[in-house]
Amino acid sequence: MESHAKTLAIVGGGPAGLMAAQVANAAGFAVDVYEAQGSVGRRFLIAGKGGLNLTHSEPRPQFDARYRERASDIAHWLDAFDADALRAWAKTLGVDTFVGSSGRVFPTDLKAAPLLRGWVRRLKEHGVRFHVHHRFTGWGDDGALRFATPTGEFFATPDATVLALGGASWPELGGNSEWVAPLRAAGIDVAELKPANCGFDVAWSEFFARKFAGAPLKPVVAHWRDAGGREHARQGECVVSAHGIEGSLVYAACADLREAIERDGSATLWLDLAPNRELARLQGDLSKPRDGRSASEFLRRQAGLEGVKAALLREALGKARMDDANAPAQTIKRLPLKLLRPRPIAEAISSAGGVRLEQLDANLMMKDKPGVFVAGEMLDWEAPTGGYLLTASFASGHVAGSGVVERLK
């Protein structure tokens, strides 16, 4: 491989950073990857613990729309490296993929470790150097990158830098947002980091929280409104927690619900507990005499509700309104949950906020810090679960790596 005198420092060894390293290395540049943890890709491995959801088969432009207000920006990244390109790349590492029933894309063995091991091995074979236990602390007076290491402070003076330091979730895996302070000190505008794909607090009664924490609610249909007042509906499942509610259905509405809480102090999520029964049928079935049956048995027989769903209905209505002829049926079809606040960012699957894209050019280079590129979740965007977050992280790394090549050549 042709060797260039130009050097690139990648700060952060997640998917975005490693993809930037791959692109620049393939162009012949000397690449050093600096990682705060003891090994790279730790969060990537955890994401794949229950089955690595690598990307999604949804076609574009519907795929792009998942990124909300950042859709046009991320569409540019995906033009360079989309879901199909990601699957083709995985295949070059000997990892085949398949599309699941939900449209999500997984490796055939469902594991992240073989993909990561093969990737890092290939990068090392091609000359990429890895430096673990190097925690980025900012820039020195001369512009050198500063790192805290077990043996003292270390400085690096590359010709270009890609910052790929991740978001603020999973602090035990390095997502602690310690990078925010040095970036702000350098005059870089960083939007507040907030929890994304997270659960929300609900003021359950002590009895309900104690007895039903961990119970799944399925199937249900969630209804919520966005900032423009438009109502959305999605069927799926969620889970009651000791503090409130979480799960994939809640994560799908997370951004709208979080924004509503910021704006109004709380948000409402309505649940249809019986999506396969029409309101008129429920009203008719629940208006019949109980014939000596208990309230729980009557609900089970007439409405198909039992366990956590029945308890949630009682939690919402209270004992007095449970005997109202119309209230139970109406509430079963549209049970309101008052969400008080998002769960802490440390518990979230991902985070929103970060380095504002307006400060970057089309290649993700900082306009006010030439030669410094930014990629991955530390940028100001968010995505729902389903492979969208990983896909855009890989794509941003590809764009940043290509930008480095263009600049240094």
Residue 50 pLDDT exceeds 80: no
Percent of the chain with pLDDT over 90: 84
Going by C-alpha positions, the residue among 332, 290, 301, 298 that lies closest to residue 315 is: 332
Residue 376 pLDDT exceeds 80: yes
CA torsion angle 69 336 240 56 (round to 10): -30
pLDDT at position 409, please? 86
The torsion region of residue 376 among left (phi > 0), alpha (psi -120 to 50) and beta comes to left
What's the pLDDT tens digit per position in 68-79?
999 999 999 999
181-198 average pLDDT score? 96
d(CA 372, CA 188): 11
Per-residue burial over 358-392, b = 16 or more CB atoms within 10 Å of its CB, e = otherwise: ebbeebbbbeebebbbbbbbbbbbbbbbbbbbbbb
238-256 average pLDDT score? 96
Residue 363 pLDDT exceeds 50: yes
pLDDT at position 294, please? 78
329-333 average pLDDT score? 93
Residue 2 pLDDT exceeds 50: no
Tokens of residue 86, six digits? 């990601």
CA torsion angle 375 165 351 81 (round to 10): 30
Q: What are phi and psi for residue 264, nearest 5 degrees?
A: -115, -10
**Preceding omega of 219 cis (within 30 degrees of 0):** yes
Residue 134 pLDDT exceeds 70: yes
Residue 1 pLDDT exceeds 50: no
pLDDT at position 174, please? 65
CA distances from 171 to 47, 53, 85, 179, 345 (A): 14, 21, 30, 12, 9
Residue 20 pLDDT exceeds 80: yes
CA atoms within 13 A on the CB side of 395: 26
What's the pLDDT tens digit per position in 304-322?
889 999 999 999 988 767 7
Write the DSSP symbol of residue 231. E
pLDDT at position 153, please? 97
d(CA 215, CA 238): 9
d(CA 91, CA 235): 33
Going by C-alpha positions, the residue among 298, 290, 390, 308 that lies closest to residue 45 is: 390
pLDDT at position 161, please? 98
pLDDT at position 238, please? 96
49-68 average pLDDT score? 94
pLDDT at position 325, please? 60
By CB atoms closer than 10 A (0-12, 13-18, 19+), residue 174 is buried
The set of residues, in sequence order, having a beta carbon less than 8 Å from that of 326 and lying 6+ positions away, is 283
pLDDT at position 192, please? 96
pLDDT at position 327, please? 80
Q: Which residue has the higher pLDDT, 44 or 298?
A: 44
331-343 average pLDDT score? 97
Going from N- to C-terminal start, the domains of the chain cover 7-196+351-408, 200-339
d(CA 275, CA 406): 53
d(CA 271, CA 279): 13
What's the pLDDT tens digit per position in 203-233?
999 999 999 999 999 999 999 999 999 999 9
Residue 269 pLDDT exceeds 70: yes
The set of residues, in sequence order, having a beta carbon less than 8 Å from that of 356 and lying 6+ positions away, is 189, 190, 191, 380
Which CATH architecture group holds 7-196+351-408? Answer: 3-Layer(bba) Sandwich (3.50)
The average confidence (pLDDT) of the chain is: 94
Structure confidence at residue 175 as a pLDDT band (50, 70, 90): low
25-34 average pLDDT score? 97
